[in-house]
Every structure is written in structure tokens, then in C-alpha cells.
């Protein structure tokens, strides 16, 4: 793979809006990605393997629980710093950002927000340091966009719960130490349970042959009469709103992350267009390639403004689910379109692993599907502005 020469586009001087801490955190993540991710990621994506050796580095840059208070091992940062870390990691690879998103927003967030003090103390510091890795089980074979229909269930057996069912498409499942699992009790009410690797009847088969997110491990969670200790129930919120609350936080991070992937594709295409000579001049001097590049930087700039404003609202506790949906949908769509255009700027070279663009493009096919599909986010906006839910 080519050396990582990335230079971040900042067409509207957004750096002026960042404080010193934001810039420090962002620059540390950027340097780490250049040093520890870019040189190895193509190889791991080709092998379809998650590079476990980067777990310590992710912890060091604060990617595990950026906004979780320091007393629980988190970085105690604000939401804009969280977004910037996700942006920088996804600039390297969406699969690596997935690992960080799941650990932070789908495992640490529910334990911090819905868990007991004992659960916080037991799990959060280890998750923040990367000693424990976690995964989040919501999606099932028969229930993806409609998680409320889930069939995974648990029964109260007096001194423990008995868990049965299966989850599909679970990021990090093949190597996770713990899983935050959403299941229905005898009354059909959804609760979160912490399931630990090694519990009898709990298996995590890996999903193979993905063309997308190849450097991220994806698998199933299978529960066959798993005895879960009662103290592993997350007691402070139940109902579908509990997992959906976690998704708000992860989707927010993705709205920043997608900008990173788009910036990398744009930067690569711009550099290539300036260097590639056809018909005696750089292809960057042709109107058609300028149209592609000019539209890319325009869309990236709009997405940056959207994410920054959403970050301000999130810091104030005012960001709504619908606002987050709009940003996730818009920014991922923006990134996938830029990846497709950027790939064309590179001609045949664009399909090789010498450059990151094709990998980003394939990764973004997952990003536009998980954490709520492109369609579902449009319907969330539609519901918000009309008052009518068109899902059912």
C-alpha cells in the first residue's frame, strides 16, 4: 500500500471552532492512525482479520469510552472530541471505527447509563483499557430493522435467568469477552443482560465471506439454556427505548466517522489527479475531474458543519434521535458517493489495494446498512416532520 500522505481538508476553517483539547485529541488520533493503522490495514482487510494488536493503541487515544467519566476509566471528553476520534479512526478504516463504536457506545454506554454501581466498577475500567472487549446483541435472524419483534428471551428461574435465542451480524462477537444482549422477559418486556464468554451454552460463531468491513470480526451470539446470574441484568432502563438510546450515541459517532472515510477518499483522489498525466496534462486540469473533486469538497464541508452543530447540541443534551438520524444518513450517503466518484478518478488503480478507496467504498456498504439502514433513517425523519410512523 502507498505511504499515508493524508492531509485533512478544512475548506471552511472549522479548526477555528475547535478548542485546544479537541485539536489535541484529534491530532493524537490522526498520528496514531498514520503510524499504527495505515501501514497494516490493507493486509488485514485482504486476510479478513481484525488486527488485535491495535487494541492497546485504541485505548491509549481514548477511543474506548471517550465521554465516559475518568473515574470509570473513560477519557472524560466532550461529544465533539468523541466525534473527532471517530472521524480519525474511520479515516483509517470503518471496521476499526466499528470496534471502537461498539465498545464505547454499545457496551460501555449501556453499562454506565443503565447499570448498577457494581457493574460500572466491574466492567468499565477493563473495557476502557481494552483488557475486556465487548459486543452488542440486538439484531436477530428474523428481526433487523424491527428489533422490537425480537425472539430472544429469558426466564426467571429463582436464583438465575435462563437465556435462549440467537443474534446475528454482531460486530466483535468472535473475540468479545462480554456481550450486552437484549432479550424479552416472560411479560415480553425488553431488558439488557451482560453475558460473559465461558458461560455454558453461549457460543459466538464467526460470519465469513464478507466483501465489506473485512478488518472487523462479525459473528453470531447463540444462547442455548445459558444461566445468567441475576446481578448481570441492567436494571435502570427497560423497553425498546433502552437499546435505541445506545444507538443514538453510536449513530452520532458514525456521522463523524463517515466524514473521515470521505476525507481520505477525497485527499487520495485530489493527489492522484494532480499527478496523473493523460493527453499531456494532469487529469486535475480537466473539467470533468474538477467537477468530481469540487463536488466532493462541497459535500464534505456540508457534512462537517452538520456534525459539528450536532456535536454542540449533543454537548448541551439537546440532540434529538431524529437529528442524529439525519446526520447519520446524510453523512454516510455523502461518504459512499464520494468513495464511488474518487475510485473513478483513479481509473484502474482505484480498484487495487495500493490505495484505500475501494476498501472504504466496500466498508461503507455496511455502514449505510448497520445502525439503522438508509431507508429507516429517512423514515425516522419522515415520522418526525409529519407525525406519522410509516414503518408499520
Instruction: Give least dist CB 261 to ligand TGC, A.
Output: 13
321's contact among ligand TGC, ligand FAD, none, with CB below 5 to 8 A by partner kind, is: ligand TGC
Instruction: Give least dist CB 370 to ligand FAD, A.
Output: 4
Which of 187, 185, 189 lies closest to 230 in space, CA to CA?
A: 185
Instruction: Give least dist CB 318 to ligand FAD, A.
Output: 26
Residue 24 is placed in which grid cell? 489535541
Toward ligand FAD, which CB reaches closer, 178 or 213? 213
d(CA 131, CA 124): 10
245's contact among ligand TGC, ligand FAD, none, with CB below 5 to 8 A by partner kind, is: ligand TGC
Instruction: Give least dist CB 277 to ligand TGC, A.
Output: 40
- Which residues partner with 165 through β-bridges? 223
Strand extents, DSSP E, 18-152: 134-137
Toward ligand FAD, which CB reaches closer, 288 or 389? 389
DSSP string, 221-261: EEEEEEEEEGGGEETT--STHHHHHHHHHHHHHHHHHHHHH
Residue 135 is placed in which grid cell? 459486543
d(CA 352, CA 131): 35
Which chain residues interact with ligand TGC by CB under 6 A?
A: 98, 101-102, 136, 138-139, 145, 147-148, 171, 239-241, 244-245, 247-248, 250, 321, 370-372, 376, 380, 389, 391
Toward ligand TGC, which CB reaches closer, 132 or 370? 370
Q: Is 371 a catalytic residue?
A: yes
Instruction: Say which residues have a Cβ less than 8 Å from residue 37's Cβ, sequence separation at least 6.
Output: 54, 89, 92, 93, 96
Instruction: Give least dist CB 280 to ligand TGC, A.
Output: 46
213's contact among ligand TGC, ligand FAD, none, with CB below 5 to 8 A by partner kind, is: ligand FAD
| Cα dihedral sign, 336-340-346-351 | positive
Which chain residues interact with ligand FAD by CB under 6 A?
A: 102, 135-139, 144-145, 169-171, 213, 218, 366, 369-371, 373, 375-376, 391
Q: Can you list the alpha helix ranges (DSSP code H) found in 276-373?
A: 287-315, 321-345, 357-367
Toward ligand FAD, which CB reaches closer, 286 or 373? 373
Active site residues: 371
Amino acid at each position: 500500500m502507498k505511504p499515508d500522505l493524508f492531509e485533512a481538508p478544512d475548506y471552511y476553517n472549522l479548526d477555528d471552532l475547535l478548542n485546544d483539547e479537541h485539536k489535541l485529541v484529534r491530532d493524537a488520533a490522526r498520528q496514531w492512525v498514520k503510524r499504527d493503522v495505515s501501514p497494516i490495514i490493507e493486509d488485514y482487510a485482504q486476510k479478513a482479520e481484525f488486527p488485535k494488536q491495535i487494541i492497546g493503541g485504541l485505548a491509549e487515544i481514548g477511543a474506548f469510552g471517550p465521554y465516559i467519566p475518568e473515574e470509570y476509566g473513560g477519557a472524560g471528553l466532550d461529544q465533539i472530541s468523541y466525534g473527532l476520534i471517530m472521524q480519525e479512526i474511520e479515516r483509517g478504516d470503518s471496521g476499526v471505527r466499528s470496534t471502537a463504536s461498539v465498545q464505547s457506545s454499545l457496551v460501555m454506554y449501556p453499562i454506565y447509563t443503565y447499570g448498577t454501581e457494581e457493574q460500572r466498577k466491574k466492567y468499565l475500567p477493563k473495557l476502557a483499557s481494552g483488557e475486556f472487549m465487548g459486543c452488542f446483541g440486538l439484531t436477530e435472524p428474523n428481526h433487523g430493522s424491527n428489533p422490537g419483534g425480537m425472539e430472544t428471551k429469558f426466564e426467571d428461574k429463582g436464583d438465575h435467568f435462563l437465556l435462549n435465542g440467537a443474534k446475528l451480524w454482531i460486530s466483535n462477537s468472535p473475540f468479545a469477552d462480554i456481550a450486552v444482549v437484549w432479550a424479552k422477559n416472560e411479560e415480553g418486556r425488553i431488558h439488557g443482560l451482560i453475558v460473559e464468554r465461558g458461560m455454558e451454552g453461549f457460543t459466538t460463531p464467526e460470519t465469513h465471506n464478507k466483501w465489506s468491513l473485512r478488518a472487523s470480526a462479525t459473528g453470531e451470539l447463540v444462547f442455548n439454556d445459558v444461566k445468567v446470574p441475576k446481578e448481570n441484568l441492567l436494571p435502570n432502563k427497560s423497553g425498546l427505548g433502552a437499546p435505541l438510546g445506545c444507538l443514538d450515541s453510536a449513530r452520532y459517532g458514525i456521522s463523524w466517522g463517515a466524514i473521515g472515510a470521505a476525507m481520505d477518499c477525497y485527499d487520495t483522489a485530489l493527489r492522484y489527479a494532480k499527478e496523473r498525466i493523460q493527453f499531456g496534462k494532469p487529469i486535475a486540469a480537466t473539467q470533468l475531474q474538477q467537477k468530481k473533486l469540487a463536488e466532493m469538497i462541497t459535500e464534505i464541508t456540508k457534512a462537517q458543519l452538520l456534525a459539528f452543530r450536532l456535536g454542540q447540541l449533543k454537548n448541551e443534551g439537546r440532540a434529538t434521535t431524529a437529528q442524529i438520524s439525519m446526520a447519520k444518513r446524510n453523512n454516510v450517503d455523502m461518504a459512499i458517493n464520494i468513495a464511488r466518484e474518487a475510485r473513478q478518478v483513479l481509473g484502474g488503480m482505484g480498484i487495487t489495494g495500493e490505495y484505500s478507496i475501494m476498501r472504504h467504498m466496500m466498508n461503507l456498504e455496511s455502514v449505510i446498512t448497520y445502525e439503522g439502514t438508509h431507508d429507516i433513517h429517512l423514515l425516522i425523519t419522515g415520522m418526525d416532520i409529519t407525525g406519522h410512523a410509516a414503518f408499520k
